[in-house]
Amino acid sequence: MGHGPLLERDPESADRRRWPRMRLQIPIFVRGLDAYGEEFLDLTKTTNISAVGACLASPRPLRANQFVSLRIPAPSPSTSGLVPESTEAIAARVIRGQPLGDLHLVGVEFVKPLD
């Protein structure tokens, strides 16, 4: 009995992404407003990142469609001037969130793709 033809993958399938994800844990500050309208600043980390978004391990739940500001902590200032003293904020919109033990996995989409 022969095998049937190999099935071709649909290029539009859900598991095919335009921007590859990298599994990188990068410390990142998240600033926004909580459910009570109070400003917060949390140190989180990415679980993966791409040019258009990231998944964060956050200590607090974030609402879908909420806008947050992300900033990578700057290294110690360099006397050579080669290392910037701070990084620019990255504007992002929360796409989804899911509790995971004491943390929340939060998917964010960057307002502008990273260069």
Could you tell me the pLDDT band of residue 35, with boundaries at 50, 70 and 90?
A: confident
How high does pLDDT run on average in the chain?
Answer: 82
Q: Is 56 left (phi over 0), alpha (psi -120 to 50) or beta?
A: beta
Could you tell me the pLDDT band of residue 78, with boundaries at 50, 70 and 90?
A: low
Asked whether residue 1 is assigned to any structural domain, the reply reads no
Is the per-residue pLDDT at 10 higher than 50?
no
Domain count within the chain: 1
Both tokens assigned to 114: 């990273």
| pLDDT tens digits along 47-72 | 999 999 999 999 999 999 999 999 99
Is the model more confident about 31 or about 8?
31
User: CA–CA separation, 58 vs 43, rounded Å?
Assistant: 8
Asked whether residue 2 is assigned to any structural domain, the reply reads no
Which residue range is the domain that position 37 belongs to?
A: 27-75+82-110
Asked whether residue 14 is assigned to any structural domain, the reply reads no
What's the CATH number where 104 sits? 2.40.10.220
Asked whether residue 16 is assigned to any structural domain, the reply reads no
Q: What is the pTM of this model?
A: 0.75
Asked whether residue 57 is assigned to any structural domain, the reply reads yes
Is the per-residue pLDDT at 8 higher than 60?
no
